[in-house]
Amino acid sequence: MNADPLRDWFDRAGVRVDPRRVLADEMDGGKVLFPARLIPYLDHELLAGLADEARTALVARHAYHYFAFTAHFETRVVNRAAEMLANGRVDAPLRRDVRLDAFKIYCDEAYHALYSFDVVRQLESASRVEALPYDFTPFLNRLDDISSGAMPHRGTLPQLLQVVVFETLVTTLLAELPNDPDVVGLVRETVRDHARDEGRHHVFFSHLFREVWSGLDSAARRETARCLPRLIGHSLRPDLRPARANLAAAGLTPTQVEDVVRDVYPPESVRRTTRDQAVQSVRLFRSCGVLDLPEGLDAFHEEGLL
Ligand SMILES: [Fe+2]
Ligand SMILES: [Fe+2]
């Protein structure tokens, strides 16, 4: 594992070297804004009679949600913690150069948010499908409830853990979407740019977790062990609010929306997908000894991650 993944940041980071990605003239060439296989409800029988235009709008709004979520998450969750690390405001003893790295990450994430917003704007004007209003706050509140609820007196630790979890999850979307030839270049290139930066962040936050964990006393370790799997679960479970809103915008009645949600997100398959996506994070936490604590083992089991 690269000991200093951000060493070449000035010459390699996306915000330093990537061009602005611009939508080429490919909307009429059969390219899609998002891969159909990553939109679980698209093939549901209640949507079978949808006109092409309405189907395109459904796909567009799914893509918008992905990028809107990214923009909010980077600015409101990752950079909340990156700022604390950068300004030396965390109460964990950390090596000296963590602060400079955290400033680099802060810039990266701000740029990821900017281009996510830029992509939505470009796609909206080319497709003439408007984005639905998106409220990130319920997701954020739940994330905060999980972590602060598990450790109300641990200062900045809950917010650090949120970011460690999210930044060490490697979603298949980041890995697969850039190579999907059916997707418009703007979306593929943007996700590819993002995945490159996130590869470096993954290494940084894996190191950071080892450092933080080794400095915790045993009570804080137990609380952390209980909290981590819940954060993983919340980060990976599909957010059903935007899915419901998208289905309603496609003309489904409230009852039909619930039918679709029930059919395409059955609890057992959500659990299986969550477990598959969490493999790398679970490996990291296991290697640090989190699952050696009975509290950790139980909590990871309860969340269905083992
Ligand atoms: Fe990012
Ligand atoms: Fe990141």
**Confidence (pLDDT) at 2:** 61
Query: What end-to-end distance do the CA atoms of the chain give, in Å?
Result: 24
**Confidence (pLDDT) at 30:** 83
Residue 241 has pLDDT above 80, yes or no: yes
Does 1 fall in a domain? no
Residue 62 has pLDDT above 90, yes or no: yes
Does 286 fall in a domain? yes
**Distance in Å, CA 57 to ligand 2 centroid:** 29
The confidence band for 29, taking pLDDT boundaries of 50, 70 and 90, is confident
Residue 99 has pLDDT above 70, yes or no: yes
Q: Which domain holds residue 231?
A: 9-27+45-302
> Of the given ranges (71-75, 112-116, 154-158), which has the lowest mean pLDDT?
154-158
**Confidence (pLDDT) at 28:** 73
**Distance in Å, CA 25 to ligand 2 centroid:** 30
Average of pLDDT values for 225-240?
94
Query: Quick one: what percent of the chain has pLDDT higher than 90?
Result: 89
Does 56 fall in a domain? yes
**Distance in Å, CA 91 to ligand 1 centroid:** 24
Q: What is the CATH number of the domain that holds 237?
A: 1.10.620.20
User: Residue 14: nearest ligand to its CA?
Assistant: 1
Model confidence pLDDT, tens digit, residues 244-281: 999 999 999 999 999 999 999 999 999 999 999 999 99
User: Residue 114: nearest ligand to its CA?
Assistant: 1
Query: What's the rounded Cα separation, in Å, for the pair 230 and 119?
Result: 31
b/e 283-305 (16+ beta carbons within 10 angstroms → b): ebbeebebbebebbbebbeebbb
**Confidence (pLDDT) at 93:** 79
Does 294 fall in a domain? yes
Q: How many domains does the chain have?
A: 1
**Confidence (pLDDT) at 25:** 81
User: Residue 70: nearest ligand to its CA?
Assistant: 1
Neighbours of ion ligand 1 (CB under 5 A): 109, 112
**Distance in Å, CA 167 to ligand 2 centroid:** 6
Does 38 fall in a domain? no
**Distance in Å, CA 126 to ligand 1 centroid:** 25
Q: Is the distance from CB of 156 to CB of 84 less than 8 angstroms?
A: yes
Residue 240 has pLDDT above 90, yes or no: yes
Average of pLDDT values for 40-52?
94
Give the Å distances, CA to CA, from 278 to 156, 220, 275.
Answer: 24, 23, 5
**Distance in Å, CA 196 to ligand 2 centroid:** 10
Query: What's the rounded Cα separation, in Å, for the pair 284 and 252?
Result: 42
Does 4 fall in a domain? no
Average of pLDDT values for 204-211?
94
**Confidence (pLDDT) at 303:** 95
**Distance in Å, CA 108 to ligand 1 centroid:** 7
Length of the chain: 306
Q: Whole-number mean pLDDT of the chain?
A: 94
**Distance in Å, CA 205 to ligand 2 centroid:** 9
User: Residue 74: nearest ligand to its CA?
Assistant: 1
**Confidence (pLDDT) at 175:** 84
**Distance in Å, CA 120 to ligand 1 centroid:** 16
Query: Quick one: what percent of the chain has pLDDT higher than 70?
Result: 99
**Confidence (pLDDT) at 164:** 95
Residue 170 has pLDDT above 90, yes or no: no
**Distance in Å, CA 197 to ligand 1 centroid:** 7
Does 32 fall in a domain? no
Does 292 fall in a domain? yes
**Distance in Å, CA 199 to ligand 1 centroid:** 10
